A and B are shown apart, each in its own frame.
Chain A
Amino acid sequence: MLVQSLILAAIHAMVPLTVTATGEILSERAGVVNIGLEGILLISAFTAVIGAEAGGPLAGLMVGLLTGALLGLIHGIIAVYFRGDQTVSGVGLNILALGVVAIGIVDRWGAAGFHRVDRAFRVQPLSTPLGAMSPMVIVTILLAALTWYLLQHTNLGLKIQACGENPAAADAAGVRVERVRMFGAIYAGALTGLAGAYLSVDWLATITENLPAGRGFIALATVVFSRLNPWLAVVGGLIFGFFDALGLIASTSQELTRIIPYQFIQMMPYVVTLLVVAGVIGRFRSPSASGQAYRRE
């Protein structure tokens, strides 16, 4: 039973990490880095609940996606057209989210801190041999496949990589660098928004003042782990999700905690994160111009 709980928990924990990381992979390939993913997750989770309560779970997911796309657009305009500092803009998103959602919950539902999403407005799970599973698990795999194909096998994918590696050369070759980078920023925002909606109208059926609780940052670690390959983002999401769940699940077992102190077990996800990020990536080189504004000569 514990093993089954563990597998299901790891798969569900993977979804927000992998979906967010997949979007960010494309954006970083194009040259725009967004460390405001945590903030986008939170704001989208909030708006998704409003959308779901107005038009059902699918509307909730779409509203989350569009909210994320809009926030990605804002980040993109700052990074691409105003050539602003991408780190500052990302941090700004994270801070903005904490304020907006805390006030938004009070304003919308009259209760401080949280709101639970009624069953009628949430995504219904699928029945699988393993147990109830969110359909978003399949969507996650499809998104990783789509993004991989887009990057590796399309003309747009080539342009994206050119803009991240050498925007000046891409520009000289006739690629509209700004537009391609804007596409990346919006794509990352949209996928992160979808992941945020998954948190609130699917997985947890709740909105709180800090619902992602750091998952936007773990997604950034997943991006590093993935070496900007969407398939590895699936693997990374599973690894992080697995160890996070392992600590919690092992700590509920009296048999296990008798042998190993639970504090040690709960430390493991962090140790693994460090090991994975420090060890596995090795000498990976990120795109030369990633995170830098492009200024036409």
Chain B
Amino acid sequence: MRKASILLAALLVSLLAVSVGALAQGSLAIVYDVGGRGDLSFNDMAALGGERAVRELGVRLTEVESASTADFLPNLRALARSRQHDVIVGVGFLIQDAMAQVAEEFPNQKFALIDGFVDAPNVMSISFADHEGSALVGALAAITALENGGDTVGIVLGIEIPILLRFEVGYRAGVRWAVDRYNEIHGTNKQVRVLYTYTGAFDDPARGKTAAEAMLGQGATVVYQVAGGTGLGVFEAVESAARGQGKVVGPPFAIGVDSAQDYISPGFIAVSMVKRVDNGVFEAIKRALDGTFQGGAVTLKLAEGGVAASSVEMVELFFDEAVAAGAKTPEEKAVAMAGVRAAREAVPQLAWDLLNELDSLIRSGEYVVPEALDRDTAEYWRSVLSTY
């Protein structure tokens, strides 16, 4: 009932907006993924992007929540039919099919899809340079291992699809760059090996836990999860292993993905590779207003603010949103933030320094992160980037 009333309210707001729409500078509509505001993930980030557009571009913002995936289609249709919005943004790949259909029904309406792909001239499909972001966290992982006397890091992935090869190779590139840089600084000849596995599932935390435990058993100091729900098992394995040694903060550490996941296992997640959905949303409305909007695939690079290593401020911002939305209590926020800060302090300073150094090198184009989207290329980079 609560969800239904929110939905109804959102629709009413959008209908009301029709009457005053002519006065505004422009109009942005966001259709959230299931779960809506307060998810500490894509939806909250999209909302931040929308709020920034209101602030900086003076646009009017219409937000629509969907109680289930079945609501995507009617919600998108209602927004498109109103003909009031310069661009309608859909958050998350679950909305992909509904958007493909509505984009065909309303060819003059501009759409943007976050983290998915629709092949239509009026849909801008926004993805993020996850290989560059993965390289950043790879550098942090490698140095965290070395500074703690380790020589092993891990990455647990979902199903072996092209996009995941890109994460894996990016991570390896970051590890290799950081190890070389470390040896250059210290005049050493250290090596770090990368354990990896494709678990074959995005929804099985048990597989993630088993794989991560095996990696920790082989001496991995840091494990990066790129496996959706399976990755929750990676967090669980890392936290349990650390707690088993009587620790309240890592190492061992896990690394989160997609959004600032640091809060999920406070104290045991060093950093997350964040897709900046907020910047994706902002980019969509900005391009729709200045006439540069084009359909097709757009990859937002690190230099364009497409990906980033998570920061304390980012996690805190989301928690503020979640507290405001009633999804979290202030006490929950305080506990989680303390853990997030503790984890970051337990990560060696050199790891942060080199992460930032690599960040500037990628931004300036001095370091180009290799990209692999097929098995042969991935295999090539595996052997080239290995220090063994």
> In the bound complex, what is the Cα–Cα distance between A244 and B209 (angstroms)?
12
Given contacts A1-B217, A204-B205, 4 further A-B contacts (CB under 8 A): A2-B217, A111-B35, A112-B41, A252-B195
With an 8 A cutoff between CB atoms, is B341 at the interface?
A: no
Interface set, chain B 14-50, CB cutoff 8 A to A: 33-36, 38-41, 43
Known: A9-B210, A249-B210, A249-B211. A107 touches B205 (CB 8 A): no
With an 8 A cutoff between CB atoms, is B302 at the interface?
A: no
Which listed residue, A1, A13, A213, A214, touches B210 by the CB 8 Å rule?
A: A13
With an 8 A cutoff between CB atoms, is B213 at the interface?
A: yes
- A252 pairs with B198, CB closer than 8 A: no
Listed stretches B137-145, B228-236, B271-279; interface member? B228-236
Identify the closest chain A residue to B236 (Cβ).
A205
- B39 pairs with A110, CB closer than 8 A: yes
Distance in angstroms from A98 CB to nearest chain B CB is 11
> In the bound complex, what is the Cα–Cα distance between A102 and B232 (angstroms)?
16
Distance in angstroms from A124 CB to nearest chain B CB is 10
- B214 pairs with A249, CB closer than 8 A: yes
Listed stretches A66-74, A113-121, A157-165, A227-235; interface member? A113-121
With an 8 A cutoff between CB atoms, is A217 at the interface?
A: no
With an 8 A cutoff between CB atoms, is B190 at the interface?
A: no
Interface set, chain B 213-269, CB cutoff 8 A to A: 213-215, 217-219, 229, 232-233, 235-236, 239-240, 243-244, 264-265
8 A-B pairs (CB sep. < 8 Å): A5-B213, A9-B210, A13-B206, A114-B232, A208-B232, A245-B210, A248-B207, A252-B218
Q: How many residues of B contact A (CB 8 A)?
A: 53
- A251 pairs with B198, CB closer than 8 A: yes
Q: Which B residues lie within 8 Å of A203 (CB)?
A: 206, 209
With an 8 A cutoff between CB atoms, is A4 at the interface?
A: yes
Q: Which B residues lie within 8 Å of A213 (CB)?
A: 201, 203-207
Listed stretches B128-136, B176-184, B320-328, B343-351; interface member? B320-328
Q: Which B residues lie within 8 Å of A205 (CB)?
A: 236, 240
Interface set, chain B 306-341, CB cutoff 8 A to A: 322, 325-328
With an 8 A cutoff between CB atoms, is B381 at the interface?
A: no
Distance in angstroms from A185 CB to nearest chain B CB is 27
Q: Which A residues lie within 8 Å of B211 (CB)?
A: 248-249, 251-252
Distance in angstroms from A59 CB to nearest chain B CB is 20
Complex interface bits, B154-189 against A, C-beta within 8 A gives 1, otherwise 0: 100000000000000000000000000000000000
- A248 pairs with B325, CB closer than 8 A: no
Q: Which B residues lie within 8 Å of A215 (CB)?
A: 206
Distance in angstroms from A177 CB to nearest chain B CB is 38
With an 8 A cutoff between CB atoms, is A186 at the interface?
A: no
Interface set, chain A 82-124, CB cutoff 8 A to B: 102-103, 106-107, 109-114, 116, 119
Distance in angstroms from B299 CB to nearest chain A CB is 25
Q: Which B residues lie within 8 Å of A152 (CB)?
A: none
- A2 pairs with B243, CB closer than 8 A: no
Q: Which A residues lie within 8 Å of B325 (CB)?
A: 110
Interface set, chain A 221-277, CB cutoff 8 A to B: 244-245, 248-249, 251-254, 262, 266
> In the bound complex, what is the Cα–Cα distance between A205 and B196 (angstroms)?
23
With an 8 A cutoff between CB atoms, is B68 at the interface?
A: yes
Interface set, chain A 127-183, CB cutoff 8 A to B: 131-132
- B68 pairs with A114, CB closer than 8 A: no
With an 8 A cutoff between CB atoms, is A210 at the interface?
A: yes
Q: Which A residues lie within 8 Å of B240 (CB)?
A: 125, 132, 205
- B214 pairs with A5, CB closer than 8 A: yes
Identify the closest chain B residue to A249 (Cβ).
B214
Which listed residue, B40, B213, B218, B328, touches A8 by the CB 8 Å rule?
A: B213
Q: Which A residues lie within 8 Å of B77 (CB)?
A: none
